Amino acid sequence: MKSIVQVINETIRPAGAECLPCDRVNLDYERYAEYRDSDEHRASEVFENPSPNSRTIRIADIGDGIPSILCYFLDGSRRTYKMADLLVRGRYLPLIAGQVGVAVVFRDTGADQVKPVRDFCSFRNVLAFPDQVTAPEDLDPLSRRIRTESRCAFELLRYTVKEDRDPVDLGIAKIMSFMANLELDAVHRLSDMRLLQNSSLLVKDGPLRYKNIKGRGFDVTQFRNVLGVSKTFRPSFTVGTGRSKRDVGAITAGLGMGERTPVFKTVEEDRFIGMWYLRIRPQSKMTNPLQGIIKVECYAIDDREAQDGLDAERVNTISVHLLRERNVTPYGQDLRWASHIYPVFETESFIKASMLSDTCFKALF
């Protein structure tokens, strides 16, 4: 059995390139971030029907006996590594490897614990090559060779080298994009199988920022019952216009326990997204005003919603069920515990527990 670096070298040397050893490092410890808000668009207007009179809306509680409508939870996670350097035509570019996992867990009514839904869970090993080393048509043969000679299944990706960007970041971004596609695929399949309904919503960890999958169009109607719930957000993000223009941090700082903001409209490609902020922990117990607040996103599905905004009653219903998710918490295990939804935390734990250890993964090379 050959190491992956050996196989790569045997493949690319005839073309004058070389795969050179480097200190194999995990890139997540320094660069890991749940998501970046930098590509969020401005949210200029309230996107809720009927439009609320106040900047804060108190969520009415519901009884304990009512089953939760939040039944599916989706998360994606990856570990990225710099495994080797590629020397090609005078350039010295990194080979980025990754373990990518996407998992969906299901919480049945009355069940004690969530269970992974295997059909919608994907775990992949990926290798991101700079586009200068490989042509698109080289990827499949190289992948097959690695599978045969190294007995490892890897999907090969190409990242485009840009002069003004760190190639490591570009490699990671490619892997992130691969993971987002796996997530999107899982949502599509859940929707295709009609598992997502008004009474069984999917909570996706992080914002709803999906691009079209190649070869498969993005059908927003399949996201009718999908929520994006983010643990962190950029407080300097601006909502509103004119005199009512304010930073999100200024609005959310005044939210009391069980209160939400109005829904604001933002646009992703040509799709409208309603987003609002909900405080799920009492501010008096938090270390800062932004702790204990989650950001919720939901696509506007039909024309009426796109025009008038999300139905306020539905937003309130979703909010109250999200509020109930506050217990139990991963307090002490995750710095973002105050905004973490426990089933999402479990999904994340499941993915990480399913991955190879860093030592094992590095040893493949």
Partner 1 sequence: METKTIGKITATENKPTTYNTIRFWLAENEDIRIFDVVRVRHIKDSYTYAIVRDLQFITDSAGHLANYVSSDFGDVAATPVNKRLGTTIAEAEVLYNSKDIEMPVRDSASVETADAEGVRKALGLLGFKNPIPAGYISMSYGLEVPIEVEAKYLVGPEGAHLNIAGISGLATKTSYAMFLLNALQQRMGDKASMILLNVKGSDLLAIDEVPKNPLSEAQTAEWKRCGLEPTPFRNAKYLYPYAQKRAQAMFSNTSLANLRGDILTKQHAENRAFNYFYDVETMKEKMAMLLADVDDPTNTLEQMYDQIRGIQASSWDAFRAEIERRTKPGQQSGNSIPPQSWRKFRRFLQTRTSNPLFVERSLTNAKERRQKLVADAVRELRPGEVLVVDIEPLPDYLQCLIVGDIISTIRNIKLGEDDQVEPSDLGKVIVFADELNKYAPKSDTGGRSLTNVLLEVTERGRSLGVIMFGAEQFRSAVHDRILGNCSTNAYGRTSPVEMAKCPDYRYFPDSHKASITRLEQGSLLLQHAVFKTHLIKVRFPFPCYLKEDVAQ
State the DSSP code for 336.
Answer: T
Question: Do residues 243 and 332 make contact, with C-beta atoms less than 8 angstroms apart?
Answer: no
Phi, psi (rounded to 5 degrees) for 221: -65, -20
CB of 188 to partner 1, least distance (A): 27
Residue 326 structure tokens: 């506050």
Phi, psi (rounded to 5 degrees) for 301: -90, -55
| Residue placing its CB nearer to partner 1 in the complex, 40 or 346 | 346
Pairing verdict, β 18-26 and 48-49: unpaired
CB of 329 to partner 1, least distance (A): 5
CB of 358 to partner 1, least distance (A): 13
Phi, psi (rounded to 5 degrees) for 348: -60, -45
Residue 40 structure tokens: 């969020």
CB of 154 to partner 1, least distance (A): 24
Residue 153 structure tokens: 């299944």
* Residue 30 CB burial class (10 angstroms; 0-12, 13-18, ≥19): exposed
CB of 355 to partner 1, least distance (A): 15
State the DSSP code for 334.
Answer: -
Q: How many residues does the chain have?
A: 365
| Residue placing its CB nearer to partner 1 in the complex, 74 or 142 | 74
Angstrom distance (rounded) from CA 293 to CA 260:
9
* Site of interaction with partner 1 (CB under 8 A): 64, 68, 107, 112-113, 282, 285, 324-333, 337, 342-343, 346, 349
CB of 334 to partner 1, least distance (A): 9
| Residue placing its CB nearer to partner 1 in the complex, 14 or 110 | 110
| Residue placing its CB nearer to partner 1 in the complex, 221 or 327 | 327
For 123, other C-beta atoms within 10 Å of its C-beta total: 16
| Residue placing its CB nearer to partner 1 in the complex, 70 or 84 | 70
Residue 19 structure tokens: 């795969």
Task: Please give the single-letter amino acid code of residue 326.
Answer: R
| Residue placing its CB nearer to partner 1 in the complex, 24 or 324 | 324
CB of 266 to partner 1, least distance (A): 29
CB of 339 to partner 1, least distance (A): 13
| Residue placing its CB nearer to partner 1 in the complex, 54 or 113 | 113
| Residue placing its CB nearer to partner 1 in the complex, 108 or 192 | 108
Residue 219's closest CA among 270, 261, 170, 253?
A: 270
For 223, other C-beta atoms within 10 Å of its C-beta total: 26
